[in-house]
Structure formats: C-alpha cells, structure tokens
Structure 1
Amino acid sequence: MAENELLKVGDTTPLGKVEIAPEVLEVIAGIAATEVAGVSSMRGNFAAGVAEKLGKKSHSKGIKVELTDDGVQVDVFIVFDYGHSIPTIAHKIQQNVRQAIENMTAIYIKEINVHVVGVNTEQDGKLEA
C-alpha cells in the first residue's frame, strides 16, 4: 500500500471533497477489534512494540488495510483468551469492525480476515504462539 493513497468518500460537492487515509481505517478497526470479549491483545510489529514501551498507545497495532481494485481488505491479527470459541470471536470481530468502519466512514469493506496468532492462557498469563 502506497503512503499517499487516500480513499474518496462520496462525490465531490460544491463544498469540496472528503478523503480518508488508510491509517484512519486501521485505527478504527483496531479499536473495534479490541472491544470484542475474548480478544486478549493485538499482534503488532517491532516498531509498535517499542512505541508502546515508551508510553505511546498504538491503536492500529495488529491491523493491515489494503486498497485493492475490488475494494478495501482488512486483516486483523489477534491473540485470544484461552477458553473462548475461536470461530465465535472471529465472527464477532468481523461484525464489529465492519459496523464501525461503515458507520464512521461510509466505506464498504470487501473482506475482513481474522488471523489468530496466539493464545493467552489464564493460568500463567503468558502468551502461547
């Protein structure tokens, strides 16, 4: 995804146009995904981990947004809590992310892929990959 790609929302009006950066969709999707019960955390990259250690919260951690010719594709990388149903959590994440993005931006999401990358066990609190 190129840095300068923006999503156009609606048609240009006499007042101007509205464009949304993909990073905005990543933040919206990240917040919506972490609201689902059973999601322990989101998986980020090294830079997001360092930023969190320095006290900066990264809401887009674990989210990847791609602009394709067919539409917008969202990938969500989660660590879930042990004892929850993975298919149920994944479906709730898809619904929550789709609803949040469509309500806040009026952008239709083609697909939302949920990738389970780990399990947070309640017994010892460690992450199991």
Structure 2
Amino acid sequence: MMTEERETGKIKIESDVVAMIAGLAATDTEGVASMSGGITEGLAKRVSGKNVTKGVRVEVGETETAIDIRVVIKYGYKIHEVARKLQQNVKEAVESMTGLHVVEVNIHVEGVELQKEEHETEEENIRLK
C-alpha cells in the first residue's frame, strides 16, 4: 500500500487498486485473450472479466510498485510483441493513475487461445481427410 502524508492529510492507495488498474490495462491490450489464474488454478485457466485482478500480483512500496501478470495470448499474435505492448500499457496506466513509479512489469504467458472458428475448421478438415 502506498501512503503519502501531506499537510491536508494522508493518501493511501491499496495494492488491490493497483492490481485492478493493471488488470484492466492488460485486458485492453490487443492480442491478450484472457487473464490466467496461474498454475495453482490450472494451466491457462480463463478468468472472467468480472475479476480482473486474477492473474495479477503486485508489490507496492512507498513510491514504487512491481507487477506480475499471467495471461493467455490469442493465436496468431507475436507473443513477444504483445508482451512488450502489455508491459508498456500497464506501466503507463498505473503510473498515470496512481503516481507510483513502476519498476517492473513481468509477463507470464501461460497459454495460447485458439479461436473457436479456426479450431472447429481445423477439426472438420481432419475428419474430411
């Protein structure tokens, strides 16, 4: 939790708030299929948009934060490019909304989501052969 004391009083930003901002920025990044709950909840288990903090772990200090995000990437996207864009989006969102300095955003890619249509077409082609 970040705490800032001023003449007018204290400002506290809970780690859950930072996690929510990071999660929303992550789900808004093109190429991210979903957030992942991590190995403990099953590899590449999808998480509904209602709980955007799943798959996000933050450490918040007095003025800095470090963020870990677990995601599933959409098939066909370049994973390294999506991950870099994700790092940038999360860093910008958290810094602009909280004033905290983001020291690192670690991306853990836990799976690739095949688009349903492509997957079904692939299965049909196999059956036809």
Consecutive unaligned residues in structure 1, runs of 5 or more: 1-5
Letter in 1 for 2:113: N
Match of 1:62 among 55, 65, 73: 55
Does 1:124 find its partner at 2:116? no
Contact 1:28-1:100 within 8 A present in 2 as well: yes
| 1:74-122 per-position Cα deviation (integer Å, ceiling 9, x unaligned) | 0010000010001100010000000000000000011000000010012
Contact 1:66-1:73 within 8 A present in 2 as well: yes
Letter in 2 for 1:43: S
Instruction: Note the C-alpha offset of 1:124.
Output: 2.5
Match of 1:99 among 92, 95, 101: 92
Letter in 2 for 1:57: K
TM-score, with length taken from structure 1: 0.77
Q: Residue in 2 aligned with 1:35?
A: 28
Contact 2:73-2:109 within 8 A present in 1 as well: yes
Match of 2:2 among 1, 4, 7: 7
Deviates more, 1:63-72 or 1:76-85: 63-72
Letter in 2 for 1:8: T
- Shift of the 68–18 alpha-carbon distance from structure 1 to 2, 3 Å rule, reads closer
TM-score, with length taken from structure 2: 0.77
Larger % of helix: which?
Answer: 2
Consecutive unaligned residues in structure 2, runs of 5 or more: 121-129
Contact 2:35-2:71 within 8 A present in 1 as well: yes
Q: Residue in 2 aligned with 1:44?
A: 37
Deviates more, 1:83-92 or 1:37-46: 37-46
C-alpha RMSD of matched pairs (Å) = 2.4
Q: Give the distance between the partners of 1:25 and 1:118, measured in 2 at CA.
A: 24
Contact 1:70-1:110 within 8 A present in 2 as well: no
Aligned residues: 112
Q: Residue in 1 aligned with 2:18?
A: 25
| 1:27-63 per-position Cα deviation (integer Å, ceiling 9, x unaligned) | 00000001111100001265xx8x95xxx81021210
